Amino acid sequence: MSRAVPLTLLLAIAGAAALSCPDSRQCYCFEESASEQRVHCAAGNGTTAAAFDLTLRRHERLLVECTGGPDWADFLLGSPLDVGSVKTLVFAYCAPPGSEHSPRVAGLLGTRDVEVLRFNGLNGSLGRHDLADYPSVKNLALSNNNLTGVGADLLRDLPSLRLLELRSTNIQLPTGFFDNSSSLRILELGSNQLRQLEPGTFDGLHKLELLNLWKNDFRKLEADVFRGLNTLQSLDLNQNGLKTLPADIFKDLENLELVNLNSNNFTSLPQGLFRTNLKLRVVKLQYNKRNLTELPDGLFANLTALKSILITRNGLLRLPEDLFWGSTSLRNLTIDRNYLTTLPRRIFQNATELYILSLSFNDLKELPDGIFEATSKLAKLDLSKNHLTSINDRMLVGLESLRMLNLENNDLTYIHVNAFSFLGNLRVAKFAYNRLTLRTGLYDIFGHISPFHHCHSLEELYLAHNNVTEMHSDWIVSNTRLRVLDLKYNSFNYLETEDLQFISSSVSVDLRHNNISRVVLARLELMAANQSAPRDVIVDIADNPIRCDCEVYELLRYLNGDMHPYVQNYVHLRPGNLSCESPDYIRGAQVFELKAKSLKCLVESEQPRPGDPCSPSGGACTCWLRPEDRALLLDCAARNLTRPPEWIDARAVAKVELDLTMNELKEPPSMYKKGYEKVTSLNLAKNRISVVDERLLSPNLKTLLLDGNNLTSIDSKILDRLSNSSHITKLTLHDNPWRCDCNSRNLLSFIQSNSLDVPELLRVTCSNTNVSLSNIALSELCTSNNDTAILVCSMVSLLGLLVGGGAALYFRFQRQIKVWLFSKSLCLCLVSEEEIDRDKRYDAFISYSHKDEEFVVKELVGRLEEGPRPYRLCIHVRDWLAGEWIPTQIARSVEESKRTIVVLSANFIESVWGRLEFQVAHKQALSERRARVIVVLYGDIGPTEKLDPELRAYLQMNTYVKWGDPWFWQKLRYAMPHTRTGSEHSHSNGILGKGIVANAKAREGKLAFAEDVRRNQTFVDTVKGIDKNLNGGFDIGPPQCTTV
């Protein structure tokens, strides 16, 4: 407390009822509240922290606090307060005033009629003179003070004392301590480390009603230690070290009602211990520190007032049969945490008023039949944590009033069907942690009947951690008051609609942590059809291994809100974190995230049958069922099938969707085969189908995908059916080699009529022109009949001339004729590519930018000129003549090579000579109508729109080989010239260094191994024309000298 107080807080207590504030600067008085006043006086000269603080609540309580050990001589500076009548006086943290100051202190306070005197934090020895000035005191509280060595006359001047608190004071009671305390009724002596009590200690306490001796150090008590205490009603001896008691120790306690013997070291108790305590109501004998293995016969017998006995954790092995006989008022009996294996049959024969009985945490293995026959008023029976294995039909006889039965944590496996026939008033049944299946062998139209079918008043049933496998009919139909049904951690495998039709309108069912794999709600909407008012039926199915096959469909409809709204009124299913345990393809998916409309599940036929695509052993397809529209989905894609399934088992489905993409089918399936009549979607994309006939169409077919096949035309009858009588709404025809001639007029009309949804219409193109049929006019497909006749006549005339002159010219110009025939792809049986290219020196000429030379030399040349099949290659750094005109060398290299390999890169595109080389090779290939050019795509070339039109058109119309492709070398070698034997291709070039121009032969202007080459003047002219175009229309001029 602050020692310096602002003047605004110093309020003089005025009025007739106010304290008289000491007239000194060392004291000040103020009001804490309207009912509380305070006085602060510094001790001595105010130079120390010592002070007295008084707090007065008028007529109720006066608190005197000492701070800093003030001297009582300075108390109130000699100014009286005249407190007057006050009920309670408390001295806190003060030294006793002693004989010198006690009368003065009491006089200065001016208190009268003090009934309660309390010393807190006593600092010193208390004597008789410290109490003598308060003779009206009835309650004296000295607890938690050190009263060692207190005098026997301490209480002599307190004749009205009724309650004495001496808890935790270390007091040792001197002889005659209570001689003048005949009015004492309550004596608290707990926690004082008392070791013994002399006989006569309590003599004179003829009115004592409560004696607390708990938590002392008694090992033994004399038989007459409580002599004369015939008014004592409550005795507390708990937490001592008593091993036994004298048989007559309680003989004078004829009014004793409560005795507490908890937490001692009893190993035995005498017979007849309570025989004279006929008013005894409560006995506590719990938590004994030693094993009290047995109780004497009739220990609690014939105590007609006895109502409660607590015998917990004593190590009892058996109980005598007459233990409670004659104690007809017994209502609460607890015998928990002992080692009892059974009970005598007649132990409760007189316990007719018994209301609560707890026998939990023993080793009970059985109870005799009829043991509860006399306990007709028993309302709560706790047999939990024992080893009972079964309940027969006689064990619980007599329990007509039972409301709560606890048999949790036993070893129960069997309950007789009539075991609970007497329990019509049972409200709560706890049977968790057993091994019950509850099978009784009884049935009704709703299912199995459990042993609880007699319990019509049942409200709460706890069966967690058992082996129950199904919902019993009595829980659903008979138990109309059922509110809680706890079935978690059981062995339910499935849950169906009938399990949810509880008559009770407010019930919570816990099915978590079972083995529920199927939740079948097929008839839930029908059952809830009339449930317009909401019910409070909650079923928790979280943490179960749900199988998310087709049977989960109705559950998903419920969770997605797709069922009738009345279903939610009927029952509330709580999925929690429910996840799919199986099948493997959906394992781990959260059920609440699945959608009923898109659910599909794998299915198989029940028996393997030949030709069945869904056969469980070797079926050609993967079969799925989509419950939303009862569709069978046959996934037969990429199975290398050469023919479609022979038949489909579609008896149980509404429609079939068949996917036959990416197979080897040459003919489509017939819709007249078994099961095909229900096919609504047929995907035949990416097969080898070349003909479509009327067998492909059926009334139910709505989607037909034919893209990526070998179709060249469709019969006009098929087209007519597709346009008029068919139900097909989607048809794909792209990526087929459609023939565009006069016979394609009907196909053109069909496509341009837009009568069907034909995706990718622009990709439905003519095979020879790559032009979309949607953009062709009918007149472009065929000319007039006259033009046709003229053309035919011309061809006949030409044919005659050819036949007439051919024979004469053949032998004269055999070589030239074969070349011309091969270039026109005519009479190939007379000529081969090897004959045409027989005189060509090189297998390939490599056209590239000099910036890519490292790639060409190390990769292309190195690999192609080596190995078991080496090629002869022409590259300009090795095989061109130094100083010769470049266009001439380009023309000669292309002419003398069977192929031209163009290394197309960003550097090549920027090279003028590279583009010239490509154009020369491309024009030669076009003139011969042969594939002469091989494009190797090397790196990123950027947007194709920036390429030359001729190069861009070539890339769009022809395939190329891309560097980095895993099949690069296989594709490149396949595009190179083929020969029948390898003997003709002995490698003449050797390594790159052998082709470099050297020494005298280089000065002669020829390569060491080159021969004179015949030049085609016309071809060179062509090269000149191309070169002119590359240079902006100007001639290159005279031959240039270049260093290779």
pLDDT tens, 370-395?
Answer: 999 999 999 999 999 999 999 999 99
What is the pLDDT confidence band of residue 833, given thresholds at 50, 70 and 90?
A: low
What is the pLDDT confidence band of residue 209, given thresholds at 50, 70 and 90?
A: very high
Helices (H) and strands (E) in the chain, counts: 20, 46
pLDDT digits (tens, 9 = 90+) for 88-142: 999 999 999 998 899 999 999 999 999 999 999 998 899 999 999 999 999 999 9
**Is the confidence at residue 968, as pLDDT, over 90?**
no
Residues 6+ apart with CB under 8 A from 941: 904, 905, 906, 909, 947
Cβ atoms of 77 and 22 closer than 8 Å: yes
Assigned token pair, 998: 């050297």
* pLDDT reported for residue 1016: 35
Pairing of β 572-574 and β 536-540: parallel
What sign does the CA torsion over 1025, 1030, 1033, 1038 have? Answer: negative
* pLDDT reported for residue 713: 92
Question: Which of 52-66, 291-305, 904-918 is predicted with the least confidence, judged by mean pLDDT?
Answer: 904-918
Residues 565-580 have a mean pLDDT of 94
- The segment(s) of the chain belonging to CATH 3.40.50.10140 are 839-1030
Q: How far apart are CA 762 and CA 753, in angstroms?
A: 14
CB atoms within 10 A of CB 186: 16
Q: How far is Cα of residue 714 from the mean position of the Cα atoms in its chain?
A: 55
Cβ atoms of 916 and 950 closer than 8 Å: no
- Collapsing DSSP to helix, strand or coil, 1028 comes out as helix
- Structure-token match 């009784």, residue found: 440
**Is the confidence at residue 347, as pLDDT, over 90?**
yes
**Is the confidence at residue 609, as pLDDT, over 80?**
yes
**What single-letter amino acid sits at 730?**
K
**Is the confidence at residue 194, as pLDDT, over 90?**
yes
* pLDDT reported for residue 804: 64
**Is the confidence at residue 409, as pLDDT, over 80?**
yes
Q: Which conformational region is residue 610 in: left (phi greater than 0), alpha (psi within -120 to 50 degrees), or beta?
A: beta
* pLDDT reported for residue 535: 93
Residues 6+ apart with CB under 8 A from 541: 495, 511, 512, 516, 519, 573, 574, 575, 576, 578
Answer with the residue of higher pLDDT: 720 or 1011.
720
- Collapsing DSSP to helix, strand or coil, 555 comes out as helix
* pLDDT reported for residue 618: 77
Q: Which of 561, 578, 564 is nearest to 524 (CA)?
A: 564
- Collapsing DSSP to helix, strand or coil, 569 comes out as helix
* pLDDT reported for residue 853: 86
What is the pLDDT confidence band of residue 667, given thresholds at 50, 70 and 90?
A: very high
Question: Which of 382-391, 738-747, 800-809, 953-962 is predicted with the least confidence, judged by mean pLDDT?
Answer: 800-809
Residues 986-1008 have a mean pLDDT of 34
* pLDDT reported for residue 950: 75
Q: What is the CATH number of domain 839-1030?
A: 3.40.50.10140
Burial 592-619 (b: 16+ CB within 10 A, else e): eebebeebbbbbeeeeeeeebbbbeeeb
The CB-based long-range contact list for 161-168 (8 Å cut-off, 24+ gap) reads 161/137, 162/138, 162/186, 163/138, 163/139, 163/188, 164/139, 164/140, 164/188, 165/139, 165/140, 165/141, 166/142, 166/192, 167/143, 167/191, 167/192, 167/212, 168/143, 168/144, 168/192
SS (HEC) of 993-1014: HHHCCCHHHHHCCCCCCCCCCC
N-term to C-term CA, the chain: 110
- Structure-token match 């902006």, residue found: 1032
pLDDT digits (tens, 9 = 90+) for 222-246: 999 999 999 999 999 999 999 999 9
Q: What is the DSSP letter of 858?
A: I
* pLDDT reported for residue 841: 86
* pLDDT reported for residue 974: 79
Answer with the residue of higher pLDDT: 405 or 835.
405
Cβ atoms of 43 and 74 closer than 8 Å: yes
Cβ atoms of 484 and 462 closer than 8 Å: yes
**Is the confidence at residue 481, as pLDDT, over 80?**
yes
* pLDDT reported for residue 1008: 28
Residues 154-183 have a mean pLDDT of 95
Assigned token pair, 529: 């059809």
Q: How far apart are CA 894 and CA 933, in angstroms?
A: 10
- Domain 494-598 sits in which CATH superfamily? Ribonuclease Inhibitor (3.80.10.10)
Residues belonging to the chain: 1044
**Is the confidence at residue 1028, as pLDDT, over 90?**
no
**What single-letter amino acid sits at 619?**
G
What is the pLDDT confidence band of residue 46, given thresholds at 50, 70 and 90?
A: low
What pairs with residue 625 in β-bridges?
A: 601, 632
**Is the confidence at residue 1031, as pLDDT, over 50?**
no
Assigned token pair, 941: 């070339």
Burial of 237 (0-12, 13-18, 19+ CB in 10 A): buried
Cβ atoms of 76 and 99 closer than 8 Å: no
Residues 602-624 have a mean pLDDT of 88
Q: How far apart are CA 292 and CA 379, in angstroms?
A: 29
- Structure-token match 């070039």, residue found: 989
Please state whether the predicted TM-score (pTM) of the whole model is above 0.85.
no
**What single-letter amino acid sits at 968?**
F
Share of the chain above pLDDT 70, in %: 86
Q: What are phi and psi of 113, to 5 degrees?
A: 60, 35
Q: How far apart are CA 103 and CA 87, in angstroms?
A: 19
**Is the confidence at residue 960, as pLDDT, over 90?**
no
Burial of 824 (0-12, 13-18, 19+ CB in 10 A): exposed
**What single-letter amino acid sits at 357?**
L
Assigned token pair, 146: 């050190």
Q: Which conformational region is residue 149 in: left (phi greater than 0), alpha (psi within -120 to 50 degrees), or beta?
A: left
Residues 794-818 have a mean pLDDT of 63
Pairing of β 36-42 and β 51-57: antiparallel
Pairing of β 494-496 and β 447-448: unpaired
What is the pLDDT confidence band of residue 284, given thresholds at 50, 70 and 90?
A: very high
Question: Which of 229-238, 346-355, 728-737 is predicted with the least confidence, judged by mean pLDDT?
Answer: 728-737
- Collapsing DSSP to helix, strand or coil, 265 comes out as coil
Cβ atoms of 144 and 168 closer than 8 Å: yes
Residues 6+ apart with CB under 8 A from 1003: none
Burial of 532 (0-12, 13-18, 19+ CB in 10 A): exposed
pLDDT digits (tens, 9 = 90+) for 61-82: 999 999 999 999 888 887 888 8
Averaged confidence pLDDT in the chain: 85
List alpha helices for 412-522, DSSP H. Answer: 473
- The segment(s) of the chain belonging to CATH 3.80.10.10 are 494-598
Cis, peptide link before residue 583, omega less than 30° from 0:
yes
